């Protein structure tokens, strides 16, 4: 079984690179780390980068996860091939573009583009956001799935994820102590469904709510609180219809907790997404 150490970055194509980067800095509050060859790398924490915008098709999404050793990367390549999943090692030039020593790429069973990276770069500088959004780091993604039960099995049996909870067919998967780093939402097409950044407190969530309203940024869900992870959240729309989320207070499931913890199954109703009563304007969250 492949061991995923952590989620690492998301790469997004965009037809308007300048506008997307302006949003990432002025609205999200990320820091530009590097501009190179129609590609912009953005930071949200001590990592070299966690979000990449590049000039290209807005449907071109890639999510990357980190493995601990070169041997684990080699073993992951073999494990995927043994399972009938076509996986390819990136070239030295491609690895350099990802600011990592080595990586492999493959598609999951729904067609989501996934990369596993070894020895990705960290930054020697403290993260300094372009505005005071309270961001503490990139935390998780929502991925679209064409078959929730099939893809849950793929991620848990092959990639070592564990189910924390489910909402209908949507599985919330953890790869470390955090309640979930991957959320699989049923859809009719693949791709990254939302991108989450953690913020320090509910004050940052509410401050963002009013700032977004003043700037006429579409708010798609919240403020609210998830009954699954316990996190207080706000979802809002970004470039190319990508959904971004701020949240704080996410539940941790430690190794000690796992001795007694069992995944819970919530029905696909609005109250399973928000215990405060907020209703989502996000297709994958609607019944």
Whether 6-120 and 135-285 share one fold: the answer is yes
The region of weakest confidence among 95-104, 145-154, 186-195, 253-262 is 253-262
**Does the pLDDT value for residue 264 go beyond 90?**
yes
Sheet holding 113-120, edge to edge: 31-36, 39-43, 51-55, 6-14, 61-67, 113-120, 100-107, 87-89
Total residues found in the chain within this entry: 287
Q: Which residues, in sequence order, are CB contacts of 77 under 8 Å at separation 6+?
A: 87, 89, 104
Give the pLDDT score at 142: 98
End-to-end CA distance of the chain: 34
Q: For the chain, give the percent of residues with pLDDT over 90.
A: 97
Rg of the chain over CA atoms, in angstroms? 18
Give the pLDDT score at 17: 98
pTM: 0.97
- Using one digit for the tens of pLDDT, what is the confidence trace for 28-79? 999 999 998 899 999 999 999 999 999 999 999 999 999 999 999 999 999 9
Average pLDDT over residues 12-22: 98
Largest Cα–Cα distance of the chain, in whole Å? 53
Average pLDDT over residues 222-232: 98
Give the pLDDT score at 286: 85
Q: Where are the domains of the chain?
A: 6-120, 135-285
The CATH label, of 3.30.420.140, 3.10.180.10, 1.10.1040.10, 3.40.50.720, for the domain at 6-120 is 3.10.180.10
CATH architecture of 135-285: Roll (3.10)
């Amino acid at each position: 079984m492949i061991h995923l150490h952590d989620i690492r970055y998301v790469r997004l194509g965009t037809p308007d690179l300048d506008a997307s980067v302006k949003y990432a800095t002025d609205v999200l509050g990320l820091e530009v780390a590097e501009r190179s060859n129609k590609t912009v790398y953005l930071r949200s924490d001590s990592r070299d980068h966690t979000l990449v915008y590049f000039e290209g098709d807005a449907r071109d999404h890639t999510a990357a996860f980190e493995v601990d050793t070169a041997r684990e990367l080699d073993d992951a390549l073999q494990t995927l091939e043994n399972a009938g999943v076509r996986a390819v090692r990136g070239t030295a030039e491609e690895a350099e573009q990802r600011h990592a020593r080595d990586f492999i790429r493959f598609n999951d069973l729904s067609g989501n583009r996934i990369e596993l990276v070894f020895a990705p770069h960290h930054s020697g500088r403290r993260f300094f956001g372009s505005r005071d959004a309270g961001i503490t780091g990139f935390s998780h993604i929502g991925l679209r799935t064409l078959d929730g039960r099939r893809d849950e099995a793929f991620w848990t049996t092959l990639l070592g994820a564990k189910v924390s909870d489910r909402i209908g067919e949507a599985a919330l998967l953890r790869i470390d102590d955090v309640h979930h780093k991957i959320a699989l939402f049923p859809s009719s097409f693949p791709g990254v469904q939302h991108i989450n950044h953690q913020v320090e407190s509910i004050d940052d969530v509410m401050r963002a709510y009013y700032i977004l309203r003043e700037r006429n940024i579409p708010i798609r869900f919240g403020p609210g609180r998830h009954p699954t992870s316990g996190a207080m959240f706000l979802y809002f729309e970004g470039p190319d219809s990508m959904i971004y989320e701020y949240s704080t207070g996410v539940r941790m499931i430690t190794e000690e907790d796992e001795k007694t913890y069992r995944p819970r199954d919530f029905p696909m109703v609005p109250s399973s997404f928000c215990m405060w009563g907020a209703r989502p304007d996000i297709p994958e969250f609607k019944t």
